[in-house]
Amino acid sequence: MKDRESIGTADQRRTSRKSLEAPVTLRIETSALEGQSDNISRAGLLLYSDQPIRVTVEVADAGGRRTYKGRLIRLQRISESNVGLAVEFDPD
């Protein structure tokens, strides 16, 4: 996806990054989430929750297929048909 723009979070990063363009499968393990609404409109609802959204991520690259466990920490609409998702991996 060469057409996406980087989300400017470099100042918040705790570890270095390297570029990786590889097929990824994300499985959501959390089947229900409870929280508190902040606002609502005809178009949608904003809610806050202290419960993690647990995920499993599979990455297939030249080195093979790797699986990581973690939690979804951000979802951002990039365009009308594209979203960016940030996953924080569990410590080893």
For residue 15, the 8-state DSSP code is S
Name the pLDDT band for 2 (thresholds 50, 70, 90): very low
Torsion of CA 82, 5, 87, 49, to 10 degrees: -70
Quote the pTM value: 0.79
Write the pLDDT tens digit of every residue in 9-36.
Answer: 555 677 898 899 999 999 999 999 999 9
Name the pLDDT band for 5 (thresholds 50, 70, 90): low
Domain positions in the chain: 19-89
